[in-house]
Amino acid sequence: MRKKMIAGNWKMFKTIPESIQLAQDLAKLSGQTDSAEIVVCPPYTSLYAVCETLKNSKIGVGAQDIHWEDQGAFTGKISHDMISSTGAKYVIIGHSEQRTYFNETDESVNRKVKKALSAGLVPIVCIGETLQEREGNQTNAVVEKQTKGAFLGIPEADAIKCVLAYEPVWAIGTGKVATPEQAEEVHAFLRGLLTTVYSTNLSNSMRILYGGSMKADNAKSLLAQPNIDGGLIGGASLKADTFQGIIDATK
Ligand code: PGA
């Protein structure tokens, strides 16, 4: 039985005081929740403060990206040690905004996943097709290429620690949510792909999250699908009550 995961991606929102406030509000509402594994991913500047705020709660904390080198002259980048030293345990890798605006490729995703795993961080690996790709019937081919690329050369014993997030690009931040049937179709395809690439054991245990305009009012029907194991939430994770509405949908 896969435990549901609800992860909030705060993107480039929230100063340190705002982050602490939101973390405190979430801790009050669902700091001891067991119905799902809850994770929040604040911007780097707030990681330590949010980890400290949530340290006596069950809510986990993640970064939004990582660099694949241990250290060096890489202005603007953040290493695994830096992330781990804040107390964060998760890291989002390959988000479509990174792919679209910051030249993230399947190859860089792969290097980041390997580094995160070697550092004991849990990668939340994002994949998803654009509207043009969907309309061109390329969805399965695109998510297959991205998934195989992300996990290239990663042994099953490591890969099994990852979380996969299917985020159709056309649904992110647009208010256009995939229907439960559309999402489930891709999730089921990914489940089969994981069986082929790895094994039934890995495929049965890896969580596949859905992301893209998930809100309290559509979460229940999405999360009811057999292959949807949680959500990666952008906009609705920025307020405690809207995020809580999605957490409640896992109960
Ligand atoms: P959204 O973002 O919930 O605002 O659509 C999801 C994401 O980018 O992870």
pLDDT, tens digit, 9 for 90 and up, residues 223-243: 999 999 999 999 999 999 999
Find the residues whose C-beta lies inside 6 A of ligand 1: 9, 167, 172-173, 211-214, 232-236
Burial tier of 21 (Cβ tally within 10 Å: 0-12, 13-18, 19+) = middle
Q: What pLDDT does residue 39 have?
A: 98
Residue owning tokens 């929102």: 13
**Backbone phi, psi, residue 224, to 5°:** -80, -15
Q: How many CB atoms lie within 10 A of CB 39?
A: 25
Q: Locate the ligand 1 atom nearest the alpha carbon of residue 174 and give its number.
A: 5
For a pLDDT cut of 90, what percent of the chain falls above it? 95
Query: 144 catalytic, yes or no?
Result: no
Burial tier of 81 (Cβ tally within 10 Å: 0-12, 13-18, 19+) = exposed
Q: What pLDDT does residue 99 have?
A: 97
Q: Which of 95, 104, 133, 187 is catalytic?
A: 95
Query: 167 catalytic, yes or no?
Result: yes
Distance 31 CA to ligand 1 centre (A): 22
For residues 166-181, average pLDDT: 93
Give the length of the chain: 251
Q: Locate the ligand 1 atom nearest the alpha carbon of residue 237 and give its number.
A: 3
**Backbone phi, psi, residue 103, to 5°:** 60, 30
For residue range 16-45, what is the model confidence (pLDDT) as tens digits?
A: 999 999 999 999 998 889 999 999 999 999
